[in-house]
Amino acid sequence: MKSISRKGVFFFVLFSCSFAVKQVVAFTAGSPLGFVAPRWKDSAVKIPLRLWYEKPAAQWEETLPLGNGRLGMMPDGGVMKENIVLNDITLWSGAPQDANNKEAYKKLPEIQRLLLEGKNDQAQALIDKDFICTGKGSGAEPFGCFQTMGNLSIAYRYNGVQDNEAKYTNYTRTLSLDNAIASCTYEVNGVTYKREYFTSFGDDVGMMRITASKPGMINIGLALSREEKGTVTVVNNALEMYGQLENGTDGKGMEYLAKVAVQAKGGKVTTDNNKLMVQQANEVIVYFSAKTSFKDNAFRQHAQQLLDKAKATAYNLQKQKHIANFQKLFNRQQVYLGSGPYETWSTDKRLENFYNAATPDNQLTVLFYQYSRYLSISSTRVGLLPPNLQGLWAHQIRTPWNGDYHLDVNVQMNHWGVEPANLSELNLPLADLVSNLVPHGERTAKAYYNAEGWVAHVITNPWMFTEPGESASWGVTKSGSGWLCSNLWDHYAFSNDKNYLKKIYPVLKGSAKFYSAILIKDPKTGYLVTSPSSSPENSFFMPDGSGKHVSICMGATIDNQIIRELFNNVITASKTLGIDEAFRKDLQAKLDQIPPAGRIAPDGRLMEWLEDYKETDKEHRHISHLYGVYPANLITPSQTPDLAEACKKSLNVRGDDGPSWAIAYKQLFWARLHDGNRAYKLFREIMKPTLKTNINYGAGGGVYPNLLSAGPPFQIDGNFGAGAGIAEMLLQSHEGFINFIPAIPDAWKGEGFVKGMKARNNITVDFAWKNGKITSYKLRSPQKQAVKVMLNGKLITVNTQ
């Protein structure tokens, strides 16, 4: 960073690798602490954000994800044979069902009696017998599964080259995050071939263009296929694949139609045995259109209309519209963490080098962060479904964990980063899903707890499943609905949108009514607690010395924290909206009777349960009892230092390994606890390269060559969680003030800047730093407001612009 003095005004020149290479920031002496907001000026020079490789993908976890919030494509860039995996976020097997056990509530008093008597194992056995869902649970239809749509296979033939013998040179495969376009280029026999792919943010189709440096050199054959439930035909010189998935009853589940058509310049297009053949063309454009019957009875006509519209529009116009619409979201934010010596390395080589690099590859960190924003934009859109465990990308019929919506951290983590990433509207699909859960959750609340309000347990799907899962060890956790309400509240906290608050208030109130209704008094502590309860997916030893593992208890810490946060949010909402004064007072009275945000065990750790049980796995992947640290603001170093220290001790015992999403969660915790170096260590753990695809519940997470996170197998929550963690290391606003670089690690302190990050109260923040000290900042909001800011260790009050 270069400093020039001129008449009491200091100009600093910043160099960015994300969008602008040079930006000028001005400071004026005499303002608070000598700072004023910067003036940012973008230059015309731009360094691209891209993933790139020097060879085709050898497995799906190396392919490049493209998506427009509905459709997905993942090309492998093969030279002789290419496979493009196709997806539609709405393609699910299964169907709506009522798996509530209508008699379950009759067993609740006995379950609670057994827990009060310390017979947790017997209570758990009774739950397994009479208090879980009916039917097959999540293991089959009608619960269903997010599924791949299928594969578009392309065979390439080159003049003078025998099958499978093409010798290619100068191969490059790239995904541009700036433009949401993938490409590959290579040479065969002196001819340069180029392919370009995108899932259009304009006309809602997938597109691919193939060109060659010499005329008449493109010879390809295209085929559609699916492992099951797919029939391929040729209709009007286009490939069609139709299928109907299982629903668990009569086999008449969701329907889908995928269509592939080509336009060729030069040469000719023919059909052969349900394939499209292109010979001696100069250029080929491939179109992929698909629709499902999810909320669309006219899906066949709509798939055809999208295809016809795309074919009638020039490719370059399609590409321009796609880029412009995508960049309306992506270009809202820039991040720079300093330069490094690795920019000319391919992404896979940088990844292999990252963990043990002598000089930190901070630009790969920026790339990973911006990739998380790219994946959010690409995997959901307003009016459709939120990203599931796979985002919207899957290459299997039976995706891991059904590719569903897990409510005990995973779907929430998918959305933690969208607000600070300045992608606020991408929270709305989740808000819609949760609103749709309510009537189903009301039936579940009655069936199991004879309670008013609504509840959802651990898993859900587009069919609005709210029942307990099929095992007490994980399925009866009931914090899921309250946790979802935290995400809904976040959107209000960041946007200050009162119309949105009015819309979600009945959802929040219904959840609060449920939790308020089910609380019972624990005679040992005098607190009002949930019963039965559990800490998500974790277990402890029975204290009677029998060695039995149990999960069921009373008043798990996460329940207490979620209820406390929810009640406070509903109280605030009712005051803001000027309604429900009586209900507000009732919640306030209950707040005084529920357990505090945390209690400290004799060993100094935060207690995970109401009693100091001995956990069966000290390094368990879930760290649910630290919910009060993140996403809630119940435990902070400034307001509750003793509890914050207890959380640090809990994290030290849990360790730094796990599936990628668990590592990301720990990164977020350490960021909130203001330990930047520890948070960065967790990020480095996530960035360990892997190709493993086995189902993993313990240590061994990482990322694949395409930077998608590995549990393993692929789960996108690790990408979103780590992205949120990076944002949290750079800016926090949950304590009532904006805190610049609160958890900046030594590796990032040299110099850097952020432009366009969002803070709560609808404030857009730009800031820069050098040697770990803020050198400039700018706060913008729709209405001018006074804001508290923690600036280089001093709390000041400033006005937004």
pLDDT in tens, 358-390: 899 999 999 999 999 999 999 999 999 999 999
Segment 97-140, tens digit of pLDDT? 999 999 999 999 999 999 999 999 999 999 999 999 999 999 99
Helices (H), 608-673: 641-654, 660-672
Q: What pLDDT is attached to residue 47?
A: 67
Using the Cα atoms of residue 329, residue 331, residue 332 and residue 338 in order, give the sign of their dihedral.
positive
**Amino acid present at 533:** S
Question: How many other β-carbons are positioned within 10 Å of the β-carbon of residue 268?
Answer: 10
Instruction: Could you list the beta-strand ranges (E) of 200-303.
Output: 206-212, 218-225, 231-235, 238-244, 255-265, 268-271, 276-281, 283-292
E strands in 657-735: 702-703, 709-710, 731-732
Written as one string, the DSSP assignment of 81-135 is: EEEEEEEETT-B---------TTGGGGHHHHHHHHHTT-HHHHHHHHHHHSS-ST
Surface-to-core class of residue 464, CB atoms within 10 Å of its CB (0-12 exposed, 13-18 middle, 19+ buried): middle
**HSE toward the beta carbon, residue 189, CA cutoff 13 A:** 13
Is 690:338 a contact under the CB 8 Å cutoff? no
Average per-residue pLDDT for the chain? 93
Enumerate residue ranges in the chain where pLDDT < 50: 1-45
pLDDT for the residue 14 = 32
φ, ψ for residue 368, nearest 5 deg: -65, -40
Closest to 71 in 3D by CA, of 84, 82, 83, 56 = 84
Q: What tokens appear for 196 in the block?
A: 């370009």
Q: Are strands 702-703 and 709-710 parallel, antiparallel or unpaired?
A: antiparallel
User: Among 380, 464, 461, which residue's Cα sits nearest to residue 427?
Assistant: 380
Name the amino acid, one letter, at 65.
Answer: P
What pairs with residue 303 in β-bridges? none
Least Cα distance to 685 among 709, 669, 706 occurs for 709
pLDDT at 505: 98
**pTM: predicted TM-score of the whole model, two decimal places:** 0.95
Give the separation between CA 757 and CA 276, rounded to whole angstroms: 47
Quick one: residue 555, left, alpha or beta (phi over 0 = left, psi -120 to 50 = alpha)?
left
Question: CA–CA separation, 118 vs 123, rounded Å?
Answer: 9
Q: How far is CA 108 from CA 123, 387, 451, 554, in A?
A: 10, 35, 11, 13
